[in-house]
Amino acid sequence: MFNLKVDQFARKHQLFQPHATILVAVSGGPDSMALLHYFKSIQHNWKFRLIALTVDHSLRGEGSQEDVKYVTSICNEWGIECNAVTLDVPSFKKQHNLGTQIAARKMRYQFFEQQMEMYQADFLAMGHHGDDQVETVFMRMTRGVEPMNIKGMDVKRSFSRGSIIRPFLCVTKRDIEEYCEKQQIQPRLDPSNESPNYTRNAFRQEVLPFLKEQNAKIHEHVQGFHEYVTEDEAFLQEQASNLFNTSLFMKKEDAIQFDRSEFLKISSSLQRRTFHLILNYLYENSPNDVSYHHWEQFKQLLKASTPQSLLNLPDGLFVIRSYEKIEFTFSHDEGDGSFHFQLSVPGTVLLLDGTSVYVEVNAESTEWNQHHFVCDRSKVTLPLHVRTRRAGDKIALRGMKGHKKVKDLFIDYKIPKAKRDRWPIVTDDEGQILWVVSLQKARVEANNSKTWLHLTYKNQENF
Query: Half-sphere exposure of 458 toward its Cβ, with a 13 Å CA cutoff?
Result: 18
Cis peptide preceding 346, ω within 30 of 0: yes
CA distances in angstroms from 355 to 109, 270, 409, 459, listed in the order given: 38, 25, 21, 5
**Cβ contact 68:56 at 8 Å:** yes
Q: Which residues are annotated as a binding site?
A: 27-32
What radius of gyration, in Å, describes the C-alpha atoms of the chain? 29
Q: Which residues are annotated as a binding site for ATP?
A: 27-32
**Cβ contact 355:339 at 8 Å:** no
Say how far apart CA 447 and CA 83 lie, in whole Å: 79
